[in-house]
Chain A
Amino acid sequence: MNERPDPREYLRDGPDLTGAELDRRLTETWRDAPGFIGWLCSVDHKSIGRRYLVTAIVFLSLGGILAALMRLQLSGPNHHVLSPDRYNQIFTMHGTTMMFLFAVPVMDAMAIYLVPLMIGTRNIGFPRLNAFSYWMYVAGGALLWVAFVVNVGPDAGWFSYVPLSGPQYSPGKRVDVWAQMVTFTEIAALSVAVSMTATILKQRAPGMTLARTPLFVWAMLVVSLMVIFSMPAVALASSMLMSDRLVGTHFFNTYEYGDALLWQHLFWFFGHPEVYIIFLPATGFVSEIVGAFSGRQTFGHTAIVLALSATGLLAFGLWVHHMFATGLPRMGYAFYTSASMAVAVPAGIQIFCWIATIWSGRPRFEVPLLWVVGFIVTFVIGGLTGVMLASVPLDLQVHDTYFVVAHFHYVLIGGAVFPLLGAITYWFPKMTGRMMSESIGRWQFWLSFVSFQVAFFPMHILGIEGMPRRVYTYPASMGWGTLNLLSSLGAVLFAVSVVVFVINMIVSLRSGARAPANPWNAPGLEWATSSPPEPYNFAHIPVVRDSTPLWSPELTFARGLRVEDRELVMTTVLEAKPDLREPSAQPTIWPLVAAAATTVVFIATMFTPWALAIGALPVAVALTAWFWPKDRGPEGEPVID
């Protein structure tokens, strides 16, 4: 250590090193290596976030094609476009793809890209873990879809209830593919959650106290904690299911004193929080958009944070409302009904805060705010049917009918996809340096909004008329044909609107108007750097004095981070006082190698449990290489003499 230079000799940003010279040096330090290998090795949160986003949109398209096939099949009675077996695979694949491969990952995508920019840091914490999560996600998605293409697509529904999914009623590998895909995506989501939690708690810019932290970042902190507490449930459940199927355990086998309902408890202990894991980031988008387009700080910052936290807590207390039809003690019914209804309170608080923001501000109804309005209308309808379903007598009547299908599409598409489309429109200029077309955006919003209602509102009525979920066809005498046809027409138009959105993205990427650093005059730190941001995000780390830093008269900066090494500032958890300078990991191929080795193990364990023992070795080697320090690192400054 003696040969290291004196700390004072390191190049640091500051008044003496700023502007073009600083840009050149920081770019050299933070950019990915050129070429395909450099691309594979990237640990830049912006690259990983973009990849996540593009991949999630690909899975959205695949899931959407399956939806279109189902609507084609159901558009009239006695259709035989799809066989019953193919239909089972398709509705399972649709739900599984949309929940595990689109909805959760797309929210992660936005957060991975945006959170480090919003809190004013140069990269996400644990960037290699973040890169690893992406490769695991892609591998899980590829496993599911390759299996489907070769007719091994899972067919027991997206929640794979036993005993249907058990060894007796689902021989073959279809359910194993589902269970293992779950393992892949859970590892990916948990990895992101760990990175996100640490980043948000430790890497906020100096002065960004928890009270000044942007609402989207707050939403992601709550969501990350929810992922941490809920996803182990489904990972455990799917491992138990696989071991029942492969090595003859009896967790869910009633004949050997296992229990089928244990599956439902474990699955929904994950599955219900999952809904809020998808919904809360969307409320974060809405809070950001509403503030920026109303020209004022979002009303009720503290109330919204408390509402987010309350939703996160309540989400763990109402999983049994998915199981009302299994029979419960009276007290159980009462408890889970009240918990389910109670969650409407924090949701309502957020909605009133957003309305108050628009009401008391100077709203500009540009495309992102249109999506917010569309969201509020649609989500309130979905929320109200949710309160209806919390009531046991009503739930028992419409359980497993199209009423439930209508409800969750209103809350998931209205509650999460609408804000997502608004958010993509809002942050597209930051990500690409180009504006999306405003005129196409307006047309597309109205097409989406109206066609969505046409597609999904009739399903409420179909459900009340008794049409069950997951039937591949129905006889003409049931009288469901007209509403199903209407629904299918709406679905076609909705699919067209999503295609228009993607075309708008692609066209704008090539020829959209150039975006300045802050095209919407928004207050958040992500707009304090160029569009798109340089590899190092911020030339100097901003110092925050309130929750709308770019609307302050002057933004000041911190100096003193090293320029020739990847260095981050760690701040204290509550007050965000500068505390440490820590290095940030260099790009490396090992997360990809570790993900590849893990993929081989996971796929092989579908065939033999020995793969777990043998395959652990290459995984261990890859992880060791990943963590082993390659050089003295940016730390360099000796602390022991």
Chain B
Amino acid sequence: MATSADPRPSFSTDLEPLPTHAFGHRSLTWWGIIAFFLIEGTAFVLAIAAYFYILDKEQAWPPPPFPPPTMLAGTLFTVLLLLSEIPNTLVKLAAETHDLPRVRRLLVIISLIGAVLMVLRGFELNSLNVLWYQNAYGSAVWMLMVLHTTHIATDWFDTLVLTALMHTDHGGEGRRFVDCSENAIYWRFVWLIWLPIYAMVYWLPRLV
């Protein structure tokens, strides 16, 4: 029986020529990110299911005397979030072509957009027209909003740290470009998940 402690192991494969980083599913961290998507996605799906479960128990949605959330801040937030995909796609492409100056510029823009989004989110929370302790409808709406706010705040912070990192000496390393590419994938998840929540918080109460 052969073990790796054998004095004369025989070699059949050479790993030296392999590259030290790659984008997409070849990278280990990409799989970690997919796993976190699945975790957070499951939490959102279950929160959405809980929202519908509670909707089913109510007589009207929103229950009187609460008006539906005011549209303006949430819609502005949604439009800006969707527009942020443009620099997000660009930064992903720039990272995958190792274009450091462009990555640096675009990350600054995305960080600024993130700041504006956080301010808009503050206005949104102020325009829901119900508080979490007023009834189960309010609890359900606030659950979705708090979950997504945590989500976007986390990724905004992540982007800020990455922006700072890319402006240091580390910025030129191959694996840091992989980080940028994967952060861009994460940002897509943040806005994709927002779309059903936007529909549920703002449009569903106007339709049922």
Question: Cβ of B31 and Cβ of A578 under 8 Å apart?
Answer: no
Q: For the complex formed, measure the closest distance between the CB of A146 and the CB atoms of chain B, giving whole angstroms.
A: 28
Is B193 an interface position by the 8 A CB rule?
no
> Contacts of B174 on A, CB cut-off 8 Å?
635, 639-640
- Please report the C-alpha to C-alpha distance between residue A632 and residue B173 in the assembled complex, in whole angstroms: 8
Interface residues of B in 1-37 (CB under 8 A from A): 1-5, 7-22, 25-29, 31-32, 35-36
Question: Cβ of A240 and Cβ of B143 under 8 Å apart?
Answer: yes
Is A512 an interface position by the 8 A CB rule?
no
Question: Cβ of A639 and Cβ of B20 under 8 Å apart?
Answer: yes
- Please report the C-alpha to C-alpha distance between residue A12 and residue B16 in the assembled complex, in whole angstroms: 8
Question: Cβ of A249 and Cβ of B4 under 8 Å apart?
Answer: no
Which among A27-35, A191-199, A332-340 touches the partner chain? Answer: A191-199
CB < 8 Å neighbour of B20 from A530, A541, A580: A580
Question: Cβ of A639 and Cβ of B98 under 8 Å apart?
Answer: yes
Is B125 an interface position by the 8 A CB rule?
no
Instruction: Give B103-137 as 1s and 0s: 1 = Cβ < 8 Å from A's Cβ atoms.
Output: 00000000000000000000000000000110111
Question: Cβ of A228 and Cβ of B38 under 8 Å apart?
Answer: yes
- Please report the C-alpha to C-alpha distance between residue A557 and residue B3 in the assembled complex, in whole angstroms: 10
> Contacts of B176 on A, CB cut-off 8 Å?
629
- Please report the C-alpha to C-alpha distance between residue A620 and residue B159 in the assembled complex, in whole angstroms: 13
Question: Cβ of A639 and Cβ of B42 under 8 Å apart?
Answer: no
Is A559 an interface position by the 8 A CB rule?
yes
> Contacts of A528 on B, CB cut-off 8 Å?
2-4
> Contacts of A558 on B, CB cut-off 8 Å?
11-15
Please classify how large the interface on chain B is, using the bins under 10, 10 to 19, 20 to 34, 35 or more.
35 or more
> Contacts of B31 on A, CB cut-off 8 Å?
125, 197-198, 201-202
Is A579 an interface position by the 8 A CB rule?
yes
CB < 8 Å neighbour of A259 from B2, B38, B54: B54
Question: Cβ of A580 and Cβ of B12 under 8 Å apart?
Answer: no
> Contacts of A579 on B, CB cut-off 8 Å?
18, 22, 26
Question: Cβ of B136 and Cβ of A247 under 8 Å apart?
Answer: no
> Contacts of B8 on A, CB cut-off 8 Å?
18
Question: Cβ of A529 and Cβ of B4 under 8 Å apart?
Answer: yes
Question: Cβ of B11 and Cβ of A250 under 8 Å apart?
Answer: no
Is B203 an interface position by the 8 A CB rule?
no
Question: Cβ of B46 and Cβ of A539 under 8 Å apart?
Answer: no
Question: Cβ of B39 and Cβ of A250 under 8 Å apart?
Answer: no
Q: For the complex formed, measure the closest distance between the CB of A636 and the CB atoms of chain B, giving whole angstroms.
A: 8
Known A-B contacts A228-B35, A229-B38; the reply to A247 vs B132 at CB < 8 A is yes
Is A538 an interface position by the 8 A CB rule?
yes
Instruction: Give A571-608 as 1s and 0s: 1 = Cβ < 8 Å from B's Cβ atoms.
Output: 01100001111110000000000000000000000000
Instruction: State the B residues within 8 Å of A (CB).
Output: 1-5, 7-22, 25-29, 31-32, 35-36, 38-40, 42-43, 46-47, 50, 53-54, 57-59, 63, 98, 132-133, 135-140, 142-143, 157, 161, 165, 170, 172-176
Apart from the given pairs A236-B50, A257-B136, A550-B2, 16 other A-B contacts in the complex at a CB distance below 8 Å: A19-B7, A198-B29, A228-B42, A232-B42, A233-B46, A250-B139, A251-B54, A251-B139, A518-B3, A530-B5, A540-B11, A555-B2, A580-B21, A581-B18, A629-B173, A635-B175
A sample of 5 cross-chain residue pairs with beta-carbon separation below 8 angstroms, ordered by A number, consists of: A12-B16, A203-B28, A236-B47, A539-B5, A582-B20
Instruction: State the A residues within 8 Å of B (CB).
Output: 1, 12, 14-15, 18-19, 125-126, 129, 190, 193-195, 197-198, 201-203, 206, 228-229, 231-233, 235-236, 240, 243-244, 247-251, 253, 256-259, 262, 265-266, 269, 517-518, 521, 528-530, 538-543, 550, 554-561, 569-570, 572-573, 578-583, 620, 624, 627-629, 632-633, 635-637, 639-640
